[in-house]
Structure 1
Amino acid sequence: MIDSPEKILEQYWGFTQFRNPQKEIISSVLESKDTIALLPTGGGKSICFQIPTLLKEGVCIVISPLIALMQDQVKNLKKRNIKALTIPSGSNQNDIITLFDQVKFGKVKFLYLSPERLQAPLIQQKIKELNVCLVAIDEAHCISEWGHDFRPSYRTIQILKETLPTVNFIALTATANKRVLEDISRNLAMSNPVLFQKSFFRENLAYQVFKIEDKLNRLIEIFTKTKVPAIVYVNSRKKTAEIANFLNANNFKSTFYHAGLSVLEKQTAFEDWMSEKKPIIVATNAFGMGIDKPNVGLVIHYNLPTSIENYVQEAGRAGRNEKKSFAVLFYNENDLFLQKQR
C-alpha cells in the first residue's frame, strides 16, 4: 500500500516533487477540510484532488463543465492505470445503472459528471449508494454570477452537500476575484474552507502588445517566424472561420472553434489541433476551459478581451511546459471604441 503523496506522485506521474502549493492543498484535503484552490492555468490543479483520492478508500466525484474535458481527463487517468469513468452522451437509464455498478464494484476511483447530470433524480439516488471520499468541482468560477463563465447548472452542485454531508469538497479554478471566491464558498455550502492562492506571474511567459491596423498581415509575419501550436482568440464566431480560412490560404494549417458548432465539429477541430494536424486554432472564448496541452507556445488576442480575468486565463494557456512562450495582444482605435461602447 502506497502511503504518501510523494510516492503516489512518483509512481503515477513520474515527478519527485510537488509544485507550490500542491502539497499544502493535498494535506488540507487529506485532513477532510473543505478547500478552495485558486491556481493559474497550468498550475497543476488536477493533481490536488487526484492524489488525495488515491490515498483514500472510495471514489471521487468530479464535477466538470465540458464533455471534451471530462473525456480528456478520464483518458489521461486510464493511461496511468487509474480507473476513471464518465457517463457517455446518449446513455439511457440501464446504461447509467450499469455504469454505477461498475463504479461501486469495480474499484473505480474517479467518476466525472457534468452539473446537468447531477439534476437527474436517478443520478442523485445512485450517488447515495457509493462510497464517496471526495467531491471535486473543476472550473468552480462557473458557479458565480460574478464569474466570466457563469453556468446556472453549477448552482445545483450543493445537492451533493445535502446528499453527502460528511464528505469534504475541493473547488478549483484559475480565475476568481474576491467576490467570486465568496460566491463559490457560499453556493457550495462549504464549512470554513481553506483558501490557497498562487501568484499568476509566469517567468517563462512574455507579454507583447501591438497597436496595429493590419492585423492579418501581422499574423502572417508571426506564423512565418513561429512554428509552435497556437491559439488565436477573436471576438466573433464569424471571424473564427474567416481568419482560419485566411491562414489556410497562406499555407498555415488552421482550424476554428466556437459555441455554434455541432458536437462533432467541435470534437474534430479540438482533435485536429491537439494532434497538431492543424497546429493553429482560431476561436472565441468558448474554447479553452480545461485544455491540457502543455506545448502551446503562442496565444494571440486578435481583439481586446472582455475582462482582465478572461485575458489572464486565456493568455495563461501558453507555456504550460515551462518553456519560453508568448502572449500577444493586438488592438487598434476601433477596438478601443467598441470596448467603450460595452
Structure 2
Amino acid sequence: MSYLDILHQYWGYPDFRGIQKDIIESIGSGKDTLGLMPTGGGKSITFQVPALAQEGVCLVITPLIALMKDQVDHLRQQGITAAAIYSGMRHDDIVSTLDNCSFGGIKLLYISPERIGSDLFQTKLRHIKVSFITVDEAHCISQWGYDFRPSYLQIENIRKLVPDAPILALTATATPDVVDDIQDRLGFKEKNVFRMSFERKNLAYVV
C-alpha cells in the first residue's frame, strides 16, 4: 500500500501538505531525517504513515505524556495498534506491552525518554524489530535548546542496540546551532534537514 493510500484509508485526507511527503519519503528510504515543522503543521503524519507502511515497530520518543496517551487513543480508534510506556505504569503492564511489540502486535510504541534508559526496556528492545525511531521535541537533546533534557542523551545508546533503524527527529523550534547539534547528538550518518515555512497567513500584527 502506498503512503497516499495509507493517508486516504486512515486519515481521509486527499493529499499530504507542506513538507510531509518529503519527510516521509526520506525516512521511508532509511535516511536519518530532521523535520522542522511549526506546531499544527501535521508532524504526527510524518511518522505514523511510514510506520504503517513498514514492517516492525516505530519507536516514538516524546516527553509529553498527555500527548502520548491522546495519540495512542486516536490511533486505536482508527484501528491502528499503538501503545505507550511512561512513568507510573505497573511493571507487569510494561512487560506485557514490550512482549506484544516482540510478537508483532504493535505498530507504534510511544515511550517517554526517562523509560528508554531502563535495563528492562533495553533488554526487551533486543528482541523487537524496530522500523525506525521517531524523536519528538528533538530540541530537548541539545544543550543549546531551551528545554534540554539529560534523558534524551540516552537515545544515542538506543541506536547502538538497533543500528539498522534510521532516526526521524522532529521539532517546531531550532536555531541553526540547535539544528546541527540535534544531528550530531543523534548520530546522523549525514546531514538531512527539511524545513517548513513558519509563516502563518491567518495571523497579523496590528500596532
Q: Quick check: which has more Rg, 1 or 2?
A: 1
Partner of 1:145: 143
Q: Which amino acid aligns with 2:146?
A: H
Partner of 1:243: none
1:201 partnered with 2:193: no
Q: How many residues align?
A: 207
1:146 CA drift (Å): 1.0
Alignment of 1:1-342 (within 5 A): 3-87=1-85, 89-105=87-103, 107-208=105-206
1:88 CA drift (Å): 5.0
Q: Which amino acid aligns with 1:43?
A: G
In the aligned structure 2, how far is the partner of 1:92 from the partner of 1:122? 13
Match of 2:198, SS state, is coil
Q: Which amino acid aligns with 1:49?
A: F
1:106 CA drift (Å): 5.1
In the aligned structure 2, how far is the partner of 1:78 from the partner of 1:208? 43
**Structure 2 CA distance for partners of 1:80 and 1:191, relative to 1, 3 Å:** same
Unaligned runs of 5+ in 2: none
In the aligned structure 1, how far is the partner of 2:86 from the partner of 2:140? 22
1:89 CA drift (Å): 3.9
In the aligned structure 2, how far is the partner of 1:117 from the partner of 1:193? 28
Tell me: higher relative CO, structure 1 or 2? Use CA pairs within 8 A at least 6 residues apart. 2
Q: Which amino acid aligns with 2:46?
A: C
In the aligned structure 2, how far is the partner of 1:32 from the partner of 1:106? 20
In the aligned structure 2, how far is the partner of 1:149 from the partner of 1:28? 27
1:194 CA drift (Å): 1.6
In the aligned structure 2, how far is the partner of 1:199 from the partner of 1:187? 25
Q: TM-score, normalised by structure 1?
A: 0.59
Match of 1:206, SS state, is coil
Match of 1:18, SS state, is coil
Q: Which amino acid aligns with 2:183?
A: S
Deviations 1:55-107 (A, max 9, x none): 00010000001211111111121121111101254334333221112222252
Asked whether the 8 Å contact 1:38–1:196 carries over to 2, the reply is yes
| Stretch deviating more after TM superposition (144-153 or 31-40) | 144-153
Q: Which amino acid aligns with 1:91?
A: M
In the aligned structure 2, how far is the partner of 1:170 from the partner of 1:192? 13
Match of 1:72, SS state, is helix
Identity of aligned residues (%): 50
In the aligned structure 2, how far is the partner of 1:197 from the partner of 1:8? 24
In the aligned structure 1, how far is the partner of 2:206 from the partner of 2:65? 33
Asked whether the 8 Å contact 2:56–2:104 carries over to 1, the reply is no
Asked whether the 8 Å contact 1:33–1:193 carries over to 2, the reply is no
In the aligned structure 1, how far is the partner of 2:174 from the partner of 2:107? 28
In the aligned structure 2, how far is the partner of 1:108 from the partner of 1:50? 12
Asked whether the 8 Å contact 2:87–2:115 carries over to 1, the reply is no
In the aligned structure 1, how far is the partner of 2:37 from the partner of 2:111? 22
Asked whether the 8 Å contact 1:39–1:198 carries over to 2, the reply is yes
